[in-house]
Amino acid sequence: MQPAFHQQESQFARAFGILRDGIAQRAFPGAALAVTYRGILIASQGFGRYTYEPSSHEVSPQTIFDLASVTKVVATTTMAMLLYERGSLDLEAPIVSLLPEFGQGGDRRAVTVRMLLAHASGLPAYVKLFETARDRDELFRAACNTPLAHLPGTHAEYSDIGFILLGEILDRVAKEPIDRFVRREVFAPLGMEQTQFNPPPSLKDAIPPTEDDRTFRHRIVQGEVNDENASVMAGVAGHAGLFASAPDIARFAETFLRGGEYLLKPETIALFTRRQDSPPGTSRALGWDTPSHPSSSGRYFSPRSFGHLGYTGTSLWIDPDRQLSVTLLTNRTWPDRSSQAIKQVRPLVHDAIVEAL
């Protein structure tokens, strides 16, 4: 992927201006943007600083961010795709056959791997399991014992709990932890050298803080996962925990735009990124999301587009019809998670990028 962004300031002046305005309005202190178009990295830029302090580090294009739930597609879903291709993962398998701890009672037997990927398992969106679980094993058991909120397959509800369980299923199928598997099978082949779970302390200064956590960890969270459930799971989980730079995620996106290249088969990408037919009205594909109205991807991304958001203020959107990908990484949770302005900024940035092309 050859860079071609010598004229990015003039071509993307409006998109860059929206991000700088967002920083001025305290939507987030810092951001990194990477745009690929027709196989070329055409924009790669850092904005703002790690925090709102004038003395804070400036964000560069290579700054590493906590991806939060973008982990679900870059790590977990991609691992599922590879295991599916290799015949190791049956999407229609009841999860009790892979995860007996989930329980055999009532409707739980009906939950399949596909339902976990499609956020249609009936599990609730989020539970503060970290309030009672003290370590990875306890949190996993608590996730297994979480009651269903809906009948399986009848209701689409984005669920962290479902992806915590999916991460454990993939570990068991591969006989190896998710972080080791994706490092060897995904990140190394793609040259994603700045993408990893649990970055070493030596990288702390390359990573903006996400929060001044005064309720759970009682410290500034920097270089460690922001999500509390993932934190109790020692930073490696199916729903969160991955750190990366915007150019690394752009490289990942390009692999999908090129039909998987040497990583995945085109038909696997088509299967996992196509919007599901059920439950009725869902916008979910398998692991991925698709544009709904209104969408964080703005007004122009095609119906075949797919993407994902992260709680810390991260996002990735890929449009195969336009051969376009937009990676936007921020730390909008600094200092206290209260700012929701990223919701207004994201679609404006995506619209401005498409209009500039």
Q: DSSP letter string over 170-199?
A: HHHHHTS-HHHHHIIIIIHHHT-TT-EES-
Closest C-alpha among 84, 246, 264, 245 to residue 189: 264
CB-CB neighbours of 235 under 10 Å: 19
pLDDT given for residue 6 in this prediction: 72
Mean pLDDT of 207-225: 98
Q: Which pLDDT band holds residue 105 (cuts at 50, 70, 90)?
A: confident
| Number of residues that this document lists for the chain | 357
**3-state DSSP: the chain helix, strand, coil percent, rounded to 5?**
40, 15, 45
- Contact call for residues 271 and 334 (beta carbons, < 8 A): no
In a domain, 44, yes or no: no
**What is the reported pLDDT for 1?**
62
Q: Are 283 and 290 in contact (CB under 8 A)?
A: yes
With respect to residue 32, please indicate whether it lies within any of the assigned structural domains.
no
Question: In the chain, how many domains are there?
Answer: 1
Question: For residue 24, what are the contacts with CB-CB under 8 A and spacing of at least 6?
Answer: none
pLDDT of 104 strictly over 90: no
Cα–Cα distance measured from residue 66 to residue 208, given in angstroms and rounded to the nearest whole number: 8
Q: Looking at the domain assignment, is residue 154 inside a domain? A: yes
Residue 129 within any structural domain of the chain: yes
CA 160 to chain centre: 11
pLDDT of 5 reads 66
What confidence tens digit (pLDDT) does each residue in 43-58 have? 999 999 999 999 999 9
3-state secondary structure of 309: strand
Residue 276 and residue 272: Cα distance in Å, rounded? 9
Task: Put residue 128 in one of left, alpha, beta given phi > 0 → left and psi -120 to 50 → alpha.
Answer: beta
Amino acid at 340: Q
The answer to whether residue 80 is domain-embedded is: yes
Tell me if 68 is assigned to some domain. Answer: no
Handedness of CA 186, 38, 286, 229 (dihedral sign): positive
pTM above 0.95, yes or no: yes
Query: Do the Cβ atoms of 168 and 238 come closer than 8 Å?
Result: yes
Residue 250 lies in a domain: no
Whole domain around residue 125: which residue ranges?
75-174
Q: What is the pLDDT of residues 115-162, one digit of tens each?
A: 999 999 999 999 999 999 999 999 999 999 999 999 999 999 999 999
Q: Is residue 201 part of a domain?
A: no
